Structure 1
Amino acid sequence: MKKFLFLLFAVLTVVVLAACTANDDTDEEDPTENVDEPDGDDNGETADADGKVLYLNNGTEPTSLDPSIGFDAVSWDPLNNLMEGLTRLDNDHRAGPGTAETWDISDDGLTYTFHLREDAKWSNGDPVVAEDFVYAWKYMLDPETGSPAAFLGYFIEGAEAYNSGEGSADDVKVTAKDEKTLEVVLAQPTGFFLDVLTNPAFFPINHQVAQDNPKWHAEADTFVGNGPFKLESWKHDEEMVFAKNEHYWDADVVKLDKVHFAMINDSNTQYQMFQSGDLDTASIPPELSDQLIDGDNVFIGPYGGLEFYRFNLTMEPFQNKKIRQAFAYAVNREDIAQYVVKNGVEPAFGFINPGYTSPTGEDFRDVNGDLVPFDPERAKQLLEEGMAEEGYDELPEITLTYSTSDTNKAVAEALQSMFQEHLDVKVELTNQEWNVFAEAQQALELQFSRSSFINDYNDPVNFLESFITDSYMNRTGFSSEEYDALIAKGKSATDEEERWEALYEAEKMLADEMMAFPIRYYNTVVLEADGVEGILRHPVGYFDLKYADKK
């Protein structure tokens, strides 16, 4: 499945769905002037009382702090700092030791044996044991859970059969050999499996706590994590406060005492809060990009993901491929990137973002090139041909739906104008709050809708697998045995060059079928207050506050 999403890591001001796959469908002066107390005390007094407090913006309420359910950017950032998996992304954005101190891999690449740290503990003081991972992963794969992240577990032998209702939990090859040893057997060799395990979907769950209270994750006073921070308070739809977790195995390196997350889903409001000292980081509102982008307090970095739009192939007129192609070719992506979104984002003429290096040393994007160009003349011709094929004298009414945010609105309005100018087609716009939007899109209730994808792990198959038949992330009604076979090969082929060739062909097929079209690749552009340092912003889609500091 996947993912939703936000333009930036640190301050998620627009929501994406996803996925993953994730995640699927963001735009901060003196931190000592922050105000956190309702009685009006200045932040200098608050900082003295609470120590080092970092003020961030999460954009909106997390979908869920259940790691099997919160499979999107607004959940990932909190989860990645409240919990920890077997592996954790390091300073170089690679999978390194996390709760697992070491691991062994069998010669055939199928069996992984993880050795958990003896001093790994939960925030309530319980030891983290191998059974916590067994419980969490089988809970994620249980079809009754309905986890959008379950497909990530399909690398494990027996996982897909269990999740699809054709097998049992006992078939899933995840075993606690003893309290601190976990054995995992894969369905086929997967060279990027350690990267997959950094995703929050694979975080453990304190199985004793969860068995006593299945809603352990819903409130601060019941939440139990094993990461650098613990959940101190949570005012739903308003704010979250994290405190340093004294039970974390690596607590000595954690410099912050607390992290305060606001939930402001407007880029101008959060920028004003940054100016007033109420936030320590912020995204740059598009209209201020030219003025602020070159400032000394701006962090700019890669962010693996894509903003795109989906067609619903079960609704007219988008059952017709030529009509879908016409809409895609009518979009001037360069104008959207340069004049609408701004902040240095790159237009997307393909689905896979730059940065994936092939076995031959080439970038995936360079090999496949521009697959979805701006070509208004071709768009007009394709629309005429598609309408003739369907017997349309005029198109049925078309409604484009986006999740509520100022940036999403601006992009949708630009698309509306382009369809009118280049196709002479009137498109109505409507917006929905994120949770409503996500459910409607998943249920194929939206005719034409905005999406985003934030990479779950570091391999191009991550996005491409979203469109296999019956994938939670598909949300288009598209189904192709040929495409499914390409993705299966792109996941399991042991010859890396052969595997990548299948992925190249899969992306080309997406561009031909055009059940979706790309808009722009994400990047990370963040304003940081003086004294803020050490925030790790990973290109895969979440940030890490373990080493963050505020001086």
Structure 2
Amino acid sequence: MKKLLSLFLMGLLVFVLAACTANENAGNETEQPDGEDTETAEKVLYLNNGQEPTSFDPPIGFDSVSWQALNNLMEGLTRLGKNHEPEAAIAENWDLSDDGKTYTFHIRENAKWSNGDDVTAGDFVFAWKRLLNPETGSPAAFLGYFIEGGEAFNNGEGSADDVAVKAVDEKTFEVTLISPQEYFLSVISNPAFFPVNEKVAAENPEWFAEAETFVGNGPFNLAEWEHDSHFIMEKNDQYWDAENVKLDKVHWAMVDDTNTEYQMFQAGDLDTSDVPADLSEQLFGEGKVEVVDQAGDYFYRFNVTKEPFQNENIRKAFAMAVDQQQIVDFVTKGQEKPAYGFVSYGFTDPSGNDFRETAGDLVKTDAEEAKKLLAQGMEEEGYDTLPEVTLTYSTSDAHKKIAETLQQMFKDNLGVEVQLANMEWNVFAEEQSALKFQLSRSSFLADYADPINFLENFQTGHSMNRTGWSNAEYDQLIQNAKNEADEAARYDMMYEAEKILMDEMPIIPIHFYNQVFMQNESVSGIVRHPVGYMELKWADKN
């Protein structure tokens, strides 16, 4: 009886929400027969995005809070499949030149935009050049540097005409790389490489900002977007593979508190939930938690342009005062692996060894050594008293707990009183990029499956660097690795580069990510990729 009542109430809730949030697409919904439960007729998945997406503009929404939805609203030439490997998507097939540098993609004849327009090769040319255009200010532009002429255009040293992408015809797109890239097809599955409808963008440069104007080419449409509250996606009937999309709608909440999210899951208002740290032991013990791999790090960035972290020994002192094992055991409690380097587990070198295991532990917890390094660094800088340090994090209960733990570790192991500050994500991201903080929380989820993606973040001037750190030898190693065809030599360069990074310590690794979640038993087919975004194309709900 309780189950029937619950189903009735859920159906009633969906009906009420549909009535309250009806928009211009509401007329396309089939009227339900009397007595038929709306939830039975419609498959609606309820998810939590955590917070407002940064942007649904592909080259700008370069973060997990944008990717999760954007990856299902749009689609690139390739898509990561159920096995996390790239497969044909908008491109039905492609050819590769003998030198391994030129790809020719053949776009599906039935590839359509949600407004009915054809997806063309010109849309990809427009989008990829826009990604690289310095005026766009894309944080993802560096991903296009493997395209001939891409880096020069983005750095203001070349023109858009020099970027080696072209439309051979309406449905044939060609790109030439600076050198063969083993991971190219994986890279271009990233949302940064999604096409943009050139005609729509010309008529409305802010086409991505509201549901009413959004035009995508993925499995779902953006039907409703109430900013800072929720957004709703509906199945896109124009999608080339619509017959294999099982869900009718996906409703995304924006709740940044894990405990609230869990309560909503328990009440049936969400179909998935993160695991509150305070309940993790109980929920893991009850077998209610699923864990899957994810390639990425939770870490802290030093700003080497601000006192006192211009000093390498002071940075090392703070890093060695942190006990990563204690954090994963007693704070996050999600079975994460502590991070003693930056590149995560899961990447196999040509010898068959895991990158992380071969590189080893490049930072260690050592309170006594940390105190010595702090004293040495202060002497080098002429400090009698260490300048005040503020640790800044983006607002979240999970981030707060880690920040408070670090604060206590710095006090216990260094005798340093660190102040805490927090701010909302969008403001935080802008301030961090502008190097406004001394020490700040950060994260990285791999954009594609290769260690170079982790390490390229800290090249001089890179949009993801956000530390002010620069090392010419490191820069050269990364550049050489990107152009190296011999895999053994390439991995050796990456091992050496990571050692330089961790020797100079512009960051404090905390833990490697995994995906820990609970899921409604009636939900199946959600694919969670290690590189940080999910596929709902194959999801179902019974």
1:47 alignment partner in structure 2: 39
* Contact 2:446–2:531 under 8 Å retained in 1: yes
Percent of counterpart pairs with the same letter?
59
Say whether residues 1:356 and 2:337 are aligned partners: no
What corresponds to 1:408 in structure 2?
A: 399
Match of 1:87 in 2: 78
CA distance in 1, matches of 2:497, 2:309: 21
TM alignment of 1:373-522, pairs within 5 A: 373-522=364-513
Change (3 A) 1:186 1:38: same
Aligned length: 521
Alpha-carbon distance between aligned partners in 1 of 2:336 and 2:9, rounded to the nearest angstrom: 31
CA distance in 2, matches of 1:313, 1:529: 45
TM-score w.r.t. length of structure 2? 0.94
* Aligned mates of 2:475, 2:36 — CA distance in 1: 58
Shift of 1:127: 1.0
8 Å Cα contact 1:289/1:342 also seen in 2: yes
Corresponding residue number in structure 1 for 2:164: 173
Report the TM-score, using the length of structure 1 for normalisation.
Answer: 0.93
The residue number in structure 1 matching 2:272 is 281
Q: Would you say the 8 A contact 2:14–2:39 is kept in 1?
A: no
Please list the CA deviations of residues 128-156 of structure 1 after superposition, one character each: whole Å capped at 9, or x if unmatched.
Answer: 11011000111111111111111101010
Q: Distance in 2 between matches of 1:264 and 1:32?
A: 25
Distance in 1, Cα, partners of 2:408 & 2:158: 50
Q: Which position in structure 2 is the counterpart of 1:365?
A: 356
Q: Match for residue 309 of structure 1? A: 300
The reply on whether 1:542 has 2:533 as its aligned counterpart is yes
Cα deviation code 1:442-491 (max 9, x no counterpart): 11110110000000000001011111111111111111111100100121
Distance 1:267 1:460 in 2: 30
CA distance in 1, matches of 2:343, 2:365: 17
Say yes or no: does 1:109 pair with 2:100. yes
1:226 alignment partner, one of 217, 222, 240:
217
Deviation at 1:494, TM superposition (A): 1.1
Give distance in 1, aligned partners of 2:372 and 2:310. 17
2:104, 2:173 within 8 Å by CA — same for their partners in 1?
A: yes
- Please state how far the C-alpha of 1:45 moved relative to its aligned partner: 3.9
Aligned to 1:345: 336
Instruction: Look up the match of 2:28.
Output: none
Q: Which secondary structure state, in structure 1, belongs to the residue aligned with residue 356 of structure 2?
A: helix
Counterpart CA distance in 1 for 2:182 and 2:68 is 25
Q: In the alignment, residue 93 of structure 2 is paired with which amino acid?
A: T
CA RMSD of aligned residues (A): 1.6
Displacement of 1:508 in angstroms is: 0.5
Alignment of 1:131 with 2:115, yes or no, is no
Look up the SS of the partner of 2:450 in the other structure.
coil
* Cross-structure match for 1:147: 138
Cα shift readout 1:186-225 (whole Å, capped 9, x = no counterpart): 0111110001001000000011111111111111111111
Aligned partner (choices 211, 217, 237) of residue 208 of structure 2: 217
Counterpart contact for 2:8–2:37, Cα < 8 Å: no
Q: Deviations over 1:293-334 (max 9, x none)?
A: 244443210011100001111111101000000000010100
Judged with a 3 Å threshold, the aligned counterparts in structure 2 of structure 1 residues 399 and 48 are, in CA distance, closer, same or farther, namely same
Distance 2:7 2:17 in 1: 19
Q: For 1:31 and 1:461, how far apart are their aligned partners in 2?
A: 48
Q: Deviations over 1:46-69 (max 9, x none)?
A: 4146x0000000001100000010
SS in 1 for 2:309: coil
Distance in 1, Cα, partners of 2:9 & 2:507: 46
Alpha-carbon distance, 1:40 to partner? 11
* CA displacement at 1:287 relative to structure 2: 0.3
Secondary structure, in 3 states, of the residue corresponding to 1:290?
helix
Aligned match of 2:22 = none
Paired residues of 1:120 and 1:127 also in contact (CA < 8 A): yes
CA distance in 1, matches of 2:16, 2:135: 42
> 1:6 — aligned with what?
none
Contact map agreement 1:468 1:479 (CA 8 A) in 2:
yes
Counterpart CA distance in 2 for 1:398 and 1:39 is 47
Larger radius of gyration: 2
